[in-house]
Structure 1
Amino acid sequence: MNDNFKAFYHCHCKQCQQLTGSAFASNIFTDPDNIEWVSGEGNVVTYEHPEREFSKAFCRECGSALPFVNKTKTSLIVPAGSLNEMPDIKPQANIFSSEEACWLKEGLEAKNFSGFPE
């Protein structure tokens, strides 16, 4: 994958919360052909919501989130946490912030630990 990303968003919509099990999804957008599977493509499982415009791809072997082409075939969506190296692009926007998880701000203010709390 080339580092020619177009957009990097933190999406706070209810669907992204449910798909990730977290407060938001961090996704990077690029051209649909900006990927070449070297191996493991047969282990990719994709879920596409039957009525809405959202999808999710993951590895059937390890469960890791994986890049996928959106339903309209206009963008390759790359879960930011799936990258091995930091991309040149930085987060540009928090989208659907009106649907932000009610516990997000309190969580960001909680005590930090480098591992599990003692």
Structure 2
Amino acid sequence: MKGECNCGAVSFEVTGPVMGVIQCHCSLCRRYTGTANISVVLADRADFHWRSGADKVSHWRHPEADWESAFCQVCGSPAPGDNDEDRVFIPAGILSEGVDDLKVIHHIFVGSKAGWDEIGDEGEQHDTRIGVKS
């Protein structure tokens, strides 16, 4: 699986499996993307490799929440970041290869989704965060 930002300054590959797409519907992710949710996949840290531009990724941590964004300094595209000590989150929209079999498996923070957001797939819905294992 490979991916890159809009300008190509940041690129990466994943050499192991990912579990499927998780969509977060919280207000922080809505503001980060400007859409109803963010769609991410989780990869084991050992399977994630920067191909270029790791030094071009900036991070912003919310001062009051356990939430961090990562983005390309050049074009502003979302970028992979730390999910927890074992895994990296990867915005699904920046994946360019190896995505044909991906599908949404979880929706998190459905309890705070926007009123206009309609979930139309078979992903399992959770009102808040879930502990997911790959």
Structure 1 match to 2:87: 75
Gaps of 5+ in 1: 109-118
| Per-residue deviation, 1:58 | 0.7
Give the alignment's Cα RMSD to 1 decimal. Answer: 1.9
Structure 1 match to 2:109: 96
CA deviation string 1:63-93 (max 9, x = no partner): 11111113x4232000000101215331102
Distance 2:65 2:105 in 1: 24
Distance 2:61 2:24 in 1: 17
Superposition TM-score, scaled by structure 1 size = 0.78
Distance 2:76 2:56 in 1: 10
Runs of 4+ off more than 4 Å: none
Superposition TM-score, scaled by structure 2 size = 0.69
Structure 1 counterpart of 2:17, one-letter code: N
Distance 1:47 1:8 in 2: 23
CA contact 1:10–1:26 (8 Å) conserved in 2: yes
Structure with the larger strand share: 2
Structure with the larger helix share: 1
Paired residues in the alignment total 105
Q: Name the % identity.
A: 33
Structure 2 match to 1:113: none
Distance 2:23 2:33 in 1: 12
Structure 1 match to 2:5: none
Gaps of 5+ in 2: 1-13, 121-134
Match for residue 13 of structure 1 among 9, 23, 26: 26
CA contact 1:3–1:87 (8 Å) conserved in 2: no
SS for the counterpart of 1:104 is: coil
1:28-107 aligned at under 5 Å gives the runs 28-70=41-83, 72-85=84-97, 86=99, 88-105=101-118
Structure 1 counterpart of 2:94, one-letter code: S
SS for the counterpart of 2:65 is: coil
| Per-residue deviation, 1:30 | 1.5
